[in-house]
Amino acid sequence: MPGHQRELTLRFLAEPADVNYGGKVHGGVVMKWIDQAGYAAAVGWSGRYSVTVAVGGIRFVAPVRISDLVAVSAKLIHTGTSSMHFSIEVRARDPMGGEWRLCTHCVIVFVALDGVEGRPVAVPAWVPTSDEDQRMAEYALKVMDLSKGIEQTIADYQSPLA
């Protein structure tokens, strides 16, 4: 679709301020990067201010080390009426070369909002055109269904505040 950016990658170096006591990048910092890439992708697709509404299936599979070159890639894999689901991959490598390693992956969902009252607005529809696109669209829905199950489980076990 002309004017609609489906994919983007942010690249930067992991800085000393990003590191935890174990010498690796904080998981919270990685989650911030995920949110930033997702936001940029959501705005690029919808042309609207967008907010995060859910993150599902986040997995930390390898650490990001200080001074690593980091690539946070977002790819649109499903749209609803006002929502956009993105597959996010965080990869890292030594900036002097070497193989990229997958560090974290997840699905993040944004909703586009109007500029006046902050209400959801329609986003351009995305339709899968390949078998891989269809597989990823199904993956997005499955991950979010699992997240809904977790939300209900938590609600069932939370006690009301006294």
Domain boundaries, the chain: 7-157
CA distance 49 to 32: 17
pTM of the model: 0.89
CATH of domain 7-157: 3.10.129.10
What pLDDT, in 10s, does the model give residues 108-124?
Answer: 999 999 988 899 999 99
pLDDT the model gives residue 1: 47
